[in-house]
Amino acid sequence: MAKGKRTRAIEQTIDVTKTYTIPEAVKLVKSNAKAKFDESIEIAINLGVDPKYADQQVRSVVSLPAGTGKTIRVAVFAKDKKAEEALAAGADIVGAEDLFEKVSGGFMDFDRVIATPDMMGLVGRLGKVLGPRGLMPNPKVGTVTPNVAQAVKDAKGGAIEFKVEKAGIVHAGIGKASFSDADIERNVNAFLSAVVKARPSGAKGTFVRKISLSSTMGGGVTIDLAEAKG
- pLDDT over threshold 90, residue 9: no
Percentage of the chain lying above the pLDDT 90 cut: 79
User: pLDDT: is 55 or 12 the higher one?
Assistant: 55
pLDDT recorded at residue 14: 76
- pLDDT over threshold 70, residue 10: no
pLDDT band at 11 (very low <50, low <70, confident <90, very high): low
Mean pLDDT, residues 129-133: 93
Q: What is the 3-state secondary structure (H, E, C) of the chain?
A: CCCCHHHHHHHHHCCCCCCECHHHHHHHHHHHCCCCCCCEEEEEEEECCCCCCHHHCCEEEEECCCCCCCCCCEEEECCHHHHHHHHHCCCCEEECHHHHHHHHCCCCCCCEEEECHHHHHHHHHHHHHHHHHCCCCCHHHCCECCCHHHHHHHHHHCEEEEECCCCCEEEEEEEECCCCHHHHHHHHHHHHHHHHHCCCCCCCCCCEEEEEEEECCCCCEEECHHHCCC
pLDDT recorded at residue 199: 95
Mean pLDDT computed over every residue of the chain: 91
pLDDT recorded at residue 230: 46
pLDDT recorded at residue 7: 57
139-181, pLDDT tens digit by residue? 988 999 999 999 999 999 888 989 999 899 999 999 999 999 9
pLDDT recorded at residue 31: 92
Mean pLDDT, residues 197-217: 94
pLDDT recorded at residue 191: 96
pLDDT recorded at residue 1: 40
